[in-house]
Structure 1
Amino acid sequence: MSFNQSENQNVFQQTGGVPLPDTSLPAASVLVTDLQTELTNENRFRALIEHSTDVILLSDREGNYFYASPTLERVLGYTPEEFIQFNGFTIIHPDDIPSIAQAFQTLLATPGYSETRQFRGLHKNGSWRWVEATATNLLDAPGVQAIVTNFHDITERKQAEEAQRLLATIVTHSDDAIVSKTLEGMITSWNGAAANLFGYSAEEAIGRHITLIIPPDLRAEEEEIIAKLRKGMRIEHFETVRVTKDGRNVDVSLSISPIKDRQGNIIGAAKIARDITERKRAEERRSMLQAVSDLLASSFDQQIMLREIAGLIVPAVADYCRIAIVDEQQQITDIKINHIDPQQLELVRALYEQYKGRANTLHGVQRILETGKSDLVSTISGPFLEHMRDNPELLRIIHALGLQSYMGTPLIVRDRIIGAITFSSIQPHRHYMPDDLAFAEELASRIALALDNARLNREVQQARDQLAIILQGVADGIIVYDKNSQIIYANESAAQLTGYASVEDLLTAPPMSTVARYEVIDEQRQPFPRSQLTHLRVLAGEREPEAIIGYTYKVTGQLERWSLVKSRPVNNEQGEVIYVITIVHDITERVQAEHRKDEFISMASHELKTPVTGLKGFTYVLQRRLSKQGDEQSLHYLSRMDAQLDKLTKLISDLLDISRMQTGKLEFLQAPFDLDSLIIETVENVQAATSTHHLLLEGKADVQILGDKDRLGQVFINLLTNAIKYSPQAGKVLVHLSRDEEHAIVRIQDFGIGIDASHRQRIFERFYQVTDPEGKTYPGLGIGLYISKEIVERHHGWIEVNSRKGKGTTFSVILPLLQG
């Protein structure tokens, strides 16, 4: 029998040959008979093959296919015509070829033998599909003579098996406990992580109810969980507590999913339990540290702080604790204890008393205070108790308390021991470990810092109270501004000097209300610019500004008072101004006295000016008459009298200038002039009047100055005459001209007696004179430098002085250049 494929029709034919009888020639006759009667059977067989879910293949002994059933196209995508062009091994995955080749050889060697293999076949679309094939050696079978292979697609089954293996591997090796149960709560699976977490082996757990690991007070949770599972709901990250075989509670996060059968019915639940004990412990510790920090920041009362701290420690960290505080002599001044059972407090006190009187103790508060080191006993057992056998009462108390574990740590701040804190556990499952001690040390560090801050705060408060008493008795007004120019402190004198009935009125008054009530004026009785208020100048960057301020009551227009106001900054660690301290000194009487003096000087100067002018006229007339008479001696005396009249005239002029300055009536001309020409002219004039010193002029400025040339000439004459006057042993005075981008600089240097540092800051004050008990006193009223400073400042410049006693003095006049 043969099986031929031609034009998509399979036809079975039977051939046979018999010798025909012939006496003359041998002959063969072939009888070909169409087995029409078998066509019906053939059609049935073909329909069976073509509609089979398996692929049917026929191949020769070399593995070449000559028939493939139509199912092949559904399984691997090839038409039968395409497929029979391949060799059998062409579509097999390279990794599977060795196994299939070996099976094929075995198959060829054994007629009638069948071999089943699973391998990956190449789909027409390029993907690999898993197939399971059974090949039978029918090469010797009459009518077949082929290797008959039938196979079917098992890709989905292989994927499911792989997924199942992967899932089993994941479950087996998962760090999370994975447990499955029925809806009735019976445990059906239990992985290794579950055994590690809960302490039960799979053999012990499977078949038992899930309440095996649920604390009695939480069993209502299980009913709620089952109710949600019956509705098909998933439960994600549900945090709760479970109990282990040895009775310990563990914090877990549960994720629970319903398990369904093939029909989609919910038949159980799969639970993943993750141990979150360490995370919860870390959270609780962070929360406790924060609670301690908040508590310590909210109170500075040591008794309250210790009581609240002990309340936080028990029961979160310990079942009972002791906190001891010592003074600078390491003597305990305060001790606080707490216990979860208040009835046991007396035992805790008794325990401390036993330790306190014990020499060379190895543990406890006293030992920690002596050594300054932390202490940890994880398990209270034989070695710990051995050294206490000489004190039966101590052992009795320890056993009565049920002490299981202990740790303690000193309270240290700024390298000083201020106390100690001990933690004790009576729970069999709470044994302190090094990480617990590290947490206790962090807790102790915060407590120590807070206790020290409380002590410092008490000391500061005491000092503040004492300072307040002192400040309230100070005659000067003291005002403290914040960086927003808001008054945050003032004493009674400040309130009185600013016109308020009380400190409270001053503190609650709107900003700048003083300016609203008074017209504020400067020394020249001109309106005082708000920007020049000393506390605002500090906030603008000045270090130690001061000003004389007058207050005129707006209602009456009468001058109320004068104040000398000085401000100083208070900086933080970054150098930023956070407060401004302002001192207000009442100088009303001084200013009024000076005003009366100025009025007298003004009046006297005017009164003196008229007779002096007359005397000058008479000396001139007398000089001419004596010249004609040739009376040289009288002319000499007259010349000396005239010189004294010149000095008196200058003195009167200076006094008048001071008077005008005080009233703001000193007039200045504004005109550009050449500074070099002024200096040359001044030097020549002064040089002509002295024979003791040589004036040396160096450099040049080559600039124009806008101002009053005569007034500035008055400044330079004064500085040059002072240089000559105060350097009697020197023979020269240096005058140096220079400039920078914005200013002209005139330096006048002498090599005389110099100025001591104690006088240097005051030489520009009105009527100030340098007195030196050990040196020569030089006559003068002390008004020349005052006038010079005022003139230069009216030109928007300033004067600097650099001097050392016995080394000479250099005055520098800095003037702004004419712009444009």
Structure 2
Amino acid sequence: MICQMNKPASSLSNEEILDILSLSRKATAIYTSENIVIEFANDQMISFWGKDRNVIGLELEVAVPELKGQPFIALLQQVWRTGNTYTAENQSAELRVNGKLQRFHFNFEYKAIKNEHGEVYSILHTATDVTQLNLAKQALDTGLLREQELNRKLLSANASLGKSQDKFASLVKNAPVAITFLQGPELLVELVNKKMLEIWGRREEQVINLSILDETNPLIDPEQVRLINRVYETQDPYYGFSVKINILSPFSVITRYFDLIYEPVLDVENEVIGVMIVATDVTEHSLSFQREQSLAEELTASNNELAAINEEMHASNEELNRREDQLQFIIDAAEIGIWDLDLRNLQLSGNDRFKSWLGLSEQDAISLSELYKVIHKDDYAHVSSAIKEALREHSSGKFNVEFQLNIPGELLPRYIAAKGKASFNIQQQPLKFSGTMMDITERKQDELRKNDFIGMVSHELKTPLTSLNGYSQILQSRAKKNQDEFSVNALKKIGTQVSKMTALINGFLNISRLESGKIHLEKKKFNLDELIAENIKESELLTETHQILFTPCPPVEVEADKDKISSVITNFISNAVKYSPAGKLIEIQCEVSPSEVRVGVKDHGMGIKKEDSERLFERFYRVRNGQTQLISGFGIGLYLSAEIVKSHSGKIWVESIPGEGSTFFFTLPLSST
């Protein structure tokens, strides 16, 4: 395989590098192992081999069997062993293309790609088919030979020009290349053949006796006129190869490429009498050569870019390894277990700490169903439900649950806090599910001890409070008989404070019971609208600062724990009184739908910010700002209310606008019967 390097998002992936190579106009392949396995080949290379993409992954000798007996496999193995790049030009090779064994010529390079240790892990093979170029060169050599032979004949004809003028003119006119003879210092067209007239786009009568120096009726590119004039003046011939010429036709300028001969013609006294021009059109060959050069430059640039990317990937890999080591150190120091669930076969994998908690060795694996077997029976249902919710279509994918594990060989269960996240594809199908685990056994045991202590202290406090409340009521009755108004009011305030203290102690007791699993629901049927009205009357006795407006619903019967639902309603009303200015209206509404009943308590107080609303139902959470500093409370009322509503399969939430007020809601399901 190509060297796999993890890299940050800003770098190219291996797939992206292969996509870049596949776009190269030059044939490119990548081999791995000393057996020369084809790891990658772009369409050009596969076309050269006359094969299809099924060759990917095969050894080159198997994929292209006609290479047996040819030197290429041995050369590749030599590059693999030595790490030295091998380059060849115009190398012939026999390949079977379209069912026929044919001979081709290639320029190619076998470049060893090494890792940071100098070890070869792949070979980059680039190749250019120069078969047509080779044939063109052979044709060019043949043409040059013909031109040389023709030149020899022309020079011979020039020597005997006075004796065989007609023969020379016939030779020129029938020559396979463009020829013209320019006479005298004016360089007048005296003789021209059909090939040259085609280049000029003129008829013979239009150019005979026309000077190429005449700028009003140009025949030849000005630069070439300068060269021809110099040949006439110096008697030095000029030879040009693949010369770019702008042909000046009457209607346009056309660019072509020519091999040129400008030969001075001498008389018997060695005096210049003119210049013979021979031009061979090599436009197609020149353009093809330019394209090959351009491709070679592009490939060189791509190779340089690939080398730079490789260096960058190497540096990124080193940085990634450093960060992985740092992360592993943090994970080990924090005693975190790492887990990953393979959604294809529901097999769990993880780090050593995760496996140790399950009583597994480093080599052991465990399935999700086997994990369920070691989860405490009291936690199985909510763990399974949390996993299903995280993997549910259109869910947030978040997984956060605490549970007990029955570890083989341990007498007491281990408490675990698990967090994770599922990722989904565009069709909302789960792709990956992984996360962390932490051992919270010590924390849980501390919480249980604390809850036991709170429960014990709260229970002990209730006894004197009950006595205090009884004596207060007796004294208040006597004060009323004696018409002692001051004592009546004072004892009334004492009763109010005793009720508040009792409610607070009951709250702590309920938290203790809830977290120890000892809170029980005593469900019975009752009218919810009547319960709301009763709670409103009790609240009105305790506060004279607010007016409560109740919009009742039709009589609705629910099956629930009446006392606990009553505490939820009382908590909502109490919070509305505490967190809204005196004199403000408190609105209570009750609405019935076919499946549930909804109760809402609205105040016109300070309101709640969104970030606080999301945490308002957490245990001991209180909004901290300048407005709430002087308001008493421990942050347990809404937490208890939320747990009570959830235990009834209901919902609880708040809708609020800062500065305008809040509305707290809860729902209870209605019996289908």
CA distance, structure 1, for counterparts of residue 492 and residue 451 of structure 2: 32
One-letter amino acid matched to 2:354: A
Determine the structure 1 residue equivalent to 2:577.
Answer: 724
CA distance, structure 2, for counterparts of residue 388 and residue 467 of structure 1: 64
Whether the 8 Å contact between 2:85 and 2:111 is mirrored in structure 1 is no
Secondary structure of the corresponding residue to residue 51 of structure 2: helix
One-letter amino acid matched to 1:287: K
Q: How far apart are residue 738 of structure 1 and its match?
A: 2.2
Q: Which of 350, 358, 382 is residue 490 of structure 1 equivalent to?
A: 350
Q: 1:295 to 1:534 in 2, by over 3 A?
A: farther
Secondary structure of the corresponding residue to residue 298 of structure 2: strand
CA distance, structure 2, for counterparts of residue 283 and residue 340 of structure 1: 11
Determine the structure 2 residue equivalent to 1:550.
Answer: 404
Q: Which of 411, 420, 436 is residue 583 of structure 1 equivalent to?
A: 436
Secondary structure of the corresponding residue to residue 578 of structure 1: strand
Say whether 1:287 aligns with 2:88.
Answer: no
Q: How far apart are residue 563 of structure 1 and its match?
A: 2.3
Q: 1:291 to 1:780 in 2, by over 3 A?
A: same
Determine the structure 2 residue equivalent to 1:124.
Answer: none
Secondary structure of the corresponding residue to residue 319 of structure 1: strand
Whether the 8 Å contact between 1:800 and 1:811 is mirrored in structure 2 is yes
Say whether 1:802 aligns with 2:655.
Answer: yes
One-letter amino acid matched to 1:470: L
Q: Which of 753, 759, 765 is residue 606 of structure 2 equivalent to?
A: 753
Q: Which of 536, 540, 556 is residue 687 of structure 1 equivalent to?
A: 540
Q: How far apart are residue 731 of structure 1 and its match?
A: 0.8
Alignment of 1:697-708 (within 5 A): 697-698=550-551, 700=553, 702-708=555-561
Secondary structure of the corresponding residue to residue 514 of structure 2: helix
Secondary structure of the corresponding residue to residue 812 of structure 1: strand
Q: Deviations over 1:463-503 (max 9, x none)?
A: 4773365145322322222323635652344334444454x
CA distance, structure 1, for counterparts of residue 86 and residue 409 of structure 2: 61
CA distance, structure 2, for counterparts of residue 700 and residue 449 of structure 1: 74
Determine the structure 1 residue equivalent to 2:381.
Answer: 529
Q: Deviations over 1:33-91 (max 9, x none)?
A: xxxxxxxxxxxxxxxxxxxxxxxxxxxxxxxxxxxxxxxxxxxxxxxxxxxxxxxxxxx
Determine the structure 2 residue equivalent to 1:597.
Answer: 450
Secondary structure of the corresponding residue to residue 380 of structure 2: coil
Q: Which of 485, 496, 510 is residue 657 of structure 1 equivalent to?
A: 510
Determine the structure 1 residue equivalent to 2:617.
Answer: 764
Count residues with an aligned counterpart. Answer: 439
Alignment of 1:49-68 (within 5 A): none
Per the normalisation by structure 2, the TM-score is: 0.55
- Uncovered stretches (5+) of structure 1, i.e. residues with no partner: 1-279, 297-302, 326-333, 342-379, 390-402, 412-417, 424-443
CA distance, structure 2, for counterparts of residue 290 and residue 310 of structure 1: 27
Q: How far apart are residue 406 of structure 1 and its match?
A: 6.9
Q: How far apart are residue 777 of structure 1 and its match?
A: 3.9
Q: How far apart are residue 669 of structure 1 and its match?
A: 2.1
CA distance, structure 2, for counterparts of residue 457 and residue 817 of structure 1: 64
Q: Which of 274, 294, 299 is residue 421 of structure 1 equivalent to?
A: 299
Whether the 8 Å contact between 2:242 and 2:258 is mirrored in structure 1 is no
Alignment of 1:272-671 (within 5 A): 287=51, 291=55, 319-321=106-108, 382-383=242-243, 407-408=291-292, 420-421=298-299, 463=320, 466-467=323-324, 469-471=326-328, 473-474=330-331, 475=334, 476-484=336-344, 486-487=346-347, 489-502=349-362, 504-505=363-364, 508-516=365-373, 518-520=374-376, 526-529=378-381, 532=384, 534-541=386-393, 542-543=395-396, 544-553=398-407, 555-560=409-414, 562-671=415-524
Secondary structure of the corresponding residue to residue 566 of structure 1: strand
CA distance, structure 2, for counterparts of residue 660 and residue 794 of structure 1: 13
Q: 1:615 to 1:684 in 2, by over 3 A?
A: closer
Q: Deviations over 1:223-247 (max 9, x none)?
A: xxxxxxxxxxxxxxxxxxxxxxxxx
Determine the structure 1 residue equivalent to 2:210.
Answer: none
Whether the 8 Å contact between 2:535 and 2:569 is mirrored in structure 1 is yes
Q: How far apart are residue 656 of structure 1 and its match?
A: 1.7
Q: Deviations over 1:582-615 (max 9, x none)?
A: 2223333332222111011110011111111122
CA distance, structure 1, for counterparts of residue 86 and residue 389 of structure 2: 47
Q: How far apart are residue 569 of structure 1 and its match?
A: 1.3
One-letter amino acid matched to 2:389: R
Whether the 8 Å contact between 1:472 and 1:493 is mirrored in structure 2 is no
Q: How far apart are residue 318 of structure 1 and its match?
A: 6.0
Q: Deviations over 1:76-129 (max 9, x none)?
A: xxxxxxxxxxxxxxxxxxxxxxxxxxxxxxxxxxxxxxxxxxxxxxxxxxxxxx
Does 776-785 or 468-477 show the bigger shift?
468-477
Q: Deviations over 1:333-355 (max 9, x none)?
A: x99766999xxxxxxxxxxxxxx
Determine the structure 2 residue equivalent to 1:188.
Answer: none
CA distance, structure 1, for counterparts of residue 591 and residue 85 of structure 2: 73
Q: 1:627 to 1:682 in 2, by over 3 A?
A: closer
CA distance, structure 2, for counterparts of residue 419 and residue 689 of structure 1: 91
Q: 1:554 to 1:529 in 2, by over 3 A?
A: farther
Whether the 8 Å contact between 1:750 and 1:808 is mirrored in structure 2 is yes
One-letter amino acid matched to 1:478: I
One-letter amino acid matched to 2:341: Y
Secondary structure of the corresponding residue to residue 638 of structure 2: helix
Q: 1:627 to 1:596 in 2, by over 3 A?
A: same
Q: Deviations over 1:501-547 (max 9, x none)?
A: 54x43xx234443443x3426xxxx3432763644432234422321
Q: Which has the larger radius of gyration?
A: 1
Q: 1:488 to 1:611 in 2, by over 3 A?
A: closer
Whether the 8 Å contact between 2:523 and 2:559 is mirrored in structure 1 is yes
Q: 1:688 to 1:732 in 2, by over 3 A?
A: same
Whether the 8 Å contact between 2:616 and 2:622 is mirrored in structure 1 is yes
Q: How far apart are residue 808 of structure 1 and its match?
A: 1.8
Q: 1:419 to 1:552 in 2, by over 3 A?
A: farther
Determine the structure 2 residue equivalent to 1:674.
Answer: 527
Secondary structure of the corresponding residue to residue 420 of structure 1: helix
Q: How far apart are residue 381 of structure 1 and its match?
A: 7.0
CA distance, structure 1, for counterparts of residue 241 and residue 392 of structure 2: 70
Q: Deviations over 1:274-312 (max 9, x none)?
A: xxxxxx99976773556469899xxxxxx98x999999x
CA distance, structure 2, for counterparts of residue 448 and residue 487 of structure 1: 42
CA distance, structure 2, for counterparts of residue 309 and residue 755 of structure 1: 74
CA distance, structure 2, for counterparts of residue 409 and residue 290 of structure 1: 31
Whether the 8 Å contact between 1:478 and 1:490 is mirrored in structure 2 is yes
Secondary structure of the corresponding residue to residue 635 of structure 2: coil
Q: 1:729 to 1:648 in 2, by over 3 A?
A: closer
CA distance, structure 1, for counterparts of residue 613 and residue 448 of structure 2: 26
Determine the structure 1 residue equivalent to 2:272.
Answer: none
Q: 1:610 to 1:383 in 2, by over 3 A?
A: same
CA distance, structure 2, for counterparts of residue 724 and residue 681 of structure 1: 17
Whether the 8 Å contact between 1:694 and 1:733 is mirrored in structure 2 is yes
Q: Deviations over 1:655-701 (max 9, x none)?
A: 22122212222221222333333323333332343322222233626
Q: Deviations over 1:759-795 (max 9, x none)?
A: 2222212222222257544211111111101110111
Q: How far apart are residue 703 of structure 1 and its match?
A: 3.7
Whether the 8 Å contact between 1:307 and 1:336 is mirrored in structure 2 is no
One-letter amino acid matched to 1:559: P
Q: Percent identity?
A: 26
- Uncovered stretches (5+) of structure 2, i.e. residues with no partner: 1-43, 61-78, 96-103, 113-122, 131-239, 245-255, 261-286
One-letter amino acid matched to 1:784: G
